[in-house]
Amino acid sequence: MKNLLSPIKIGSIELRNRVIMAPLTRSRSNREGIPNDLMRQYYEQRASAGLIISEATNISPMGVGYLNTPGIWTQEQIEGWKPITQAVHNKNGRIYLQLWHTGRSSHPDFHGGEFTVSASAINSGGQVNTYDGLKDKEPPRTLDISEIEDTIDDYVKAAKNAIEAGFDGVEIHGANGYLIDQFICSGSNVRNDKYGGSIENRCRFGLEVVAAISKAIGSDRTAIRLSPSGTFNGMFDETPVETFSYMIDKLNEYNLAYLHIMEPYAPPGKTYIPQDSYLQDREVTQYFRNIYKGNLMTNSGFNIDEANDYISNGIADMVAFGKLMIANPDLVERIENNANLNDWDVKTFYSGGEKGYIDYSFLND
């Protein structure tokens, strides 16, 4: 019977187990988005995971929306990632880079005062931390067709840069109210051109990104993350089941390494507020398992027993862990030994420095 410790093939690579490190923003880069040795230690500690998915990584200057998050658009950033991927590979681990464009979930302060960009000029509401403190989000500027094409090129260049940096593949961030999600959902997309209106048109941008990256680096090294019931960052869709059923069915055409589906998500300290038309917690993966034919990964608050149950029953092929992987760099070994798990410290998730980052204990400490 398959479980978390069973191997699995994604694309052309074999994973030692199905314990996946979820993409986790930790704000340990510098303002220029260049990775550092502290980040190398953090990822190296967790290399026993079947696959590490890196923290969300900005594909361009316009994609930046959070403090001290890494990038992948400059040579300096590429060089900064190389020791990290090498360290993971030296421990026989595998690592994908998550490609990120925050869209309207940013602030003009990150862009020299220029407007943020999105599918439509609709403010998500809420606030964002800038280098000058917490500020209200502002209405974005609508991307025109030529800018959409340029943004797809940015995704492709970022994917190629990721391969140059030594990553085994890339995961496109299409979840949590960031740019691709902003195009997919009707609450943030009121365009009247080929990228808006119908479900097919709203999904077009995300699917074009998938197609372009698959062509550039191979579909076997390409994956995508979606949040069909997500409301984070002010997201809403009028027909979420129909919208994401179409999107996910179309993904079957690409033979991707995997599809990463999120159950309803609330960030630390927040509460998920369900929408009546949305699939609820622990309904999402089960529903879309009937539509998606390839490798399916799930995520959001799974414990070990629940994750093993999902895999053994074929609901998911892999489970990504966030907080458990933050607090337990040797999570795989703890699962193997049925050992106790460390607790995480929410206060240090984005605080910078070593505390709560590379100082969690190992079983043999």
Tallying the residues shown for the chain, one arrives at: 365
* Residue 203: other Cβ atoms inside 10 A: 22
Q: Which residue has the tokens 């880069």?
A: 29
Q: Which residue has the tokens 């030994």?
A: 337
* Residue 255: burial class (beta carbons within 10 Å; 0-12, 13-18, 19+): middle
178 is known as an active-site residue:
yes
Enter the tokens of residue 95: 């690592």
* Sheet strands (E) in 88-148: 95-100, 117-118, 127-130, 133-136, 141-142
* Nearest alpha-carbon partner for 164 in 97, 70, 103: 97
Specify whether the CB–CB gap between 322 and 24 falls below 8 A.
yes
Say which of 155, 178, 254, 278 is annotated catalytic: 178
* Nearest alpha-carbon partner for 74 in 56, 58, 54: 58
* Nearest alpha-carbon partner for 260 in 235, 236, 227, 302: 227
DSSP one-letter code for 355: T
How far is the C-alpha of 196 from the C-alpha of 201, rounded, in Å?
5
* Residue 282: burial class (beta carbons within 10 Å; 0-12, 13-18, 19+): middle
Paired strand residues for 134: 129
Specify whether the CB–CB gap between 299 and 22 falls below 8 A.
yes
* Residue 103: burial class (beta carbons within 10 Å; 0-12, 13-18, 19+): buried
What amino acid positions are annotated as catalytic residues? 178
